[in-house]
Amino acid sequence: MIRNRLLLILSFLTAFVLAQGALVSDMHNLFTNVILASDHRYLPLINQTDRVLVNISISLLFIYDVNEVQQTMSACFMYDITWTDELRQWRPEDYGGISDVQPDPLDIWKPRLLAANSIGSQDFIGDTYAPLHLYSNGHVTWLPGGIVHFSCSMILTYFPFDTQQCHFAILGGEIASHVTYSMGLASISAGRHAKNGEWDILEIRGASLISHTTGLPLVTCSISLRRRPQFIVLNIIMPVNLLSCISVFVFWVPVESGERLSLSITTLLSLTVYMSEIYSDLPKTSDHMPLLVIYLMCLLVHSILVLISNIILLTVYHHGRDNNEKSKTNCQSKDNESQIVTESNQNTYTSQLMEHSHKMYNSSVSPRSGFHSRDTVKGKVSQKGTTMTKLLDIMWGKLACRFPESENKGQTALTRVLSRVLTYIGLADLILFILFSVMWLIIFAVFTVVINQGTN
């Protein structure tokens, strides 16, 4: 009876102590007897020849930067690293009901993790005060995190409609015979990561491997990214296409305005500026040449051909206009000369006719006169023929000036073809406009089809 009462009183006292909570002495005893009793350099195993199983789960919080030029990626990760510490286990009732503590990460054993493809420090976990939870059953949870800068080989063939695969490799500091790493599924659930304005996160996968070069355990994290092309399409691709269209419509500008060459050169310079903007965002490498660069180069060649066509067209036009002005001037001078010669010939012919008629009259009046001799009549007829020949030559020159095509009989075939081209200069503009428009449509259609086939 007395024994039962003593047990009841003892149970009440124990419950009272537990209700009061753990005391500072309990925490002090726990750290002294359990947590700090073993050196942090020892493996957390009773049998030091066994392996420690470390489970790593990586969560991507946000993408800080993706640099295509330097082929690097910066992202903020949160790591959930767990293992079992056999050297630091206790019974909570022995230490005032304490079931878990948060010791200094430097006081217990932790796995040494290095970034295998880091572009900075390999010790990517620089926060030595990251939260660490130690439970009474020996289970340890370590929650470090931070921004990691690592290399990422990118294939920019279908830029800006590309999908990239970046790999972040974590290398264990202990050999594989001591520590085994297990990769947990990374979390990319809604609300766990911030959205990026340039990239969409498609998938994150993890794998545990053994490094063939060092023999150390290796954990890889693969991140699938898809670029959001709206910004580049609206700010680069569409303006470039509109500028190319403007370069085609230059053939509708009148030749007399003198603005054709200036418009073509302005369009060409604008395309050059846009190409320099794109080149600044692309790596300086010949591997996996972006199709957008080839497309822009084709548009640049297209604009150069338009400029060359305008130069040739304007040269032919102004050369033909100068020839027409010269021919008009020659015709006007010939008209003036013919008018003067005609008037002088008419006066001469009139005076000759009057003299001839006067002599005929005198010969008819004179009784001694008879018929003219054959030589006299023949000389007078030949003199009249010479005068008529001169009159016909003057009339032929006037007809040749009024009908320039009659003069082309003595010219070469090339000169006649050029004169025909100058005659139909409006038709030449229309033909060139249709030709370069079809060329631009072919370039755009080929680029669109190739991009669709590569991205689907």
pLDDT in tens, the chain (456 residues): 555 544 445 454 454 444 455 688 888 899 999 999 988 889 999 998 899 999 888 888 889 999 988 899 999 888 889 999 999 999 998 898 899 999 988 889 998 888 888 887 777 776 667 889 999 999 999 999 888 899 998 988 898 899 999 998 888 877 777 888 887 654 444 446 677 888 998 888 877 766 656 667 778 888 899 999 998 899 888 988 888 888 888 888 877 777 888 888 988 888 888 888 877 777 777 778 888 888 989 999 999 999 998 888 888 877 765 555 555 555 555 555 555 545 555 556 556 555 655 555 455 444 444 444 444 444 444 444 444 444 444 444 444 444 444 444 555 666 666 566 555 556 778 788 889 999 999 999 999 999 888 877
Asked whether residue 56 is assigned to any structural domain, the reply reads yes
| Half-sphere exposure for 415 (CA within 13 Å, toward CB) | 10
Helix (H) or strand (E) holding 100: strand 100-101
Note whether 177 and 299 are same-domain residues.
no
Domain stops at, among 228, 257, 281: 228
What local confidence, expressed as pLDDT, does residue 369 receive? Answer: 42
Distance set, CA 153 to CA 166, 190, 288 (Å)? 7, 27, 11
In this predicted structure, what is the pLDDT of residue 426? 66
Q: Is 436 part of any domain?
A: yes
DSSP state of 179: E
297 within domain boundaries: yes
CA angle 349–352–354, rounded 5-degree value: 110
pLDDT computed for residue 355 by the predictor: 63
CA distances to 297, 298, 452 from 291, in Å? 10, 11, 12
Give a yes or no: residue 357 inside a domain. Answer: yes
CB 304 within 8 A of CB 296: no
pLDDT of residue 66: 92
Q: Report DSSP state, residue 109.
A: -
Best CA proximity match to 162, nearest among 205, 200, 117: 200
Give the DSSP letter string of 183-229: EPPPB--TTTSPPPSSEEEEEEEEEEEE-TTT--EEEEEEEEEEE-T
Tell me, yes or no, whether 350 and 222 share the same domain: no
- Burial of 198-232, coded b for 16+ CB within 10 Å and e otherwise, reads ebebeebebebeeeeeeebbbbbbebebebbbeeb
| pLDDT at residue 137, as a whole number | 94
Domain membership of residue 113 (yes or no) is yes
Q: Residue 82: which of 176, 172, 182 has the closest Cα?
A: 182
Beta bridge partners of residue 57, listed in sequence order: 80
Task: Point out which residues pair with 201 in neighbouring strands.
Answer: 225
Which residue range forms the structural domain that includes residue 271?
Answer: 229-361+378-456
Query: What's the pTM?
Result: 0.65
Boundary (domain end) residue, out of 166, 196, 228: 228
Give whole-number Cα distances, 338 to 214, 330, 384, 406, in Å: 106, 12, 19, 19
Residue 422 confidence (pLDDT): 53
Assess whether 137 and 235 both reside in one domain. no
One domain, residues 33 and 147:
yes
* Residue carrying the six token digits 């050297």: 87
The per-residue pLDDT for 344 is 55
Which of 421, 437, 426, 425 lies closest to 249 in space, CA to CA?
A: 437
Query: What's the pLDDT at 249?
Result: 86
Q: Which of 165, 194, 228 corresponds to the end of one domain? A: 228
7 within domain boundaries: no
pLDDT value at position 185?
53
Is residue 51 within 8 A of residue 177, CB to CB? The reply is: yes
Place of tokens 């030709």: 435
Please check whether residues 223 and 287 belong to one and the same domain: no
Shared-domain flag, residues 322 and 420: yes
Token pair belonging to 88: 């630091």
Q: Judge whether 45 lies within some domain.
A: yes
Contact by Cβ (8 Å): 81, 127: no
Determine the Cα–Cα distance for residues 81 and 219; give it in Å rounded to an integer.
12
Determine contact, residues 67/181, Cβ cutoff 8 Å. no
Domain count, the chain: 2
Q: How far apart are CA 216 and CA 176, in angstroms?
A: 5
Q: What is the CATH number of the domain that holds 56?
A: 2.70.170.10
**Tokens coding 198:** 């340039």
Does residue 166 sit in the same domain as residue 259?
A: no
Residues 270 and 176 in one domain: no
Instruction: Retrieve residue 399's tokens.
Output: 């007809």
Give the model's pLDDT for residue 374: 43
Residue 153, classed as helix, strand or coil, is coil
From the list 146, 58, 147, 54, the residue with the least C-alpha distance to 109 is 54
What whole-number distance in Å separates Cα of residue 396 and Cα of residue 401?
9
Query: How many helices (H) and strands (E) in the chain?
Result: 9, 11
Q: What is the rounded distance in angstroms from the CA atom of residue 68 to the CA atom of residue 156?
A: 8
DSSP one-letter code for 257: G
Same-domain check for residues 200 and 270: no
The answer on 238 and 222 residing in a single domain is no
Q: Is the dihedral of CA 145, 151, 156, 159 positive or negative?
A: positive
Instruction: Say if residue 183 is in the same domain as residue 242.
Output: no
104 with 65, same domain: the answer is yes
CATH code of residue 290: 1.20.58.390
Residue 367 lies in a domain: no
What is the pLDDT, as a whole number, of residue 275?
82
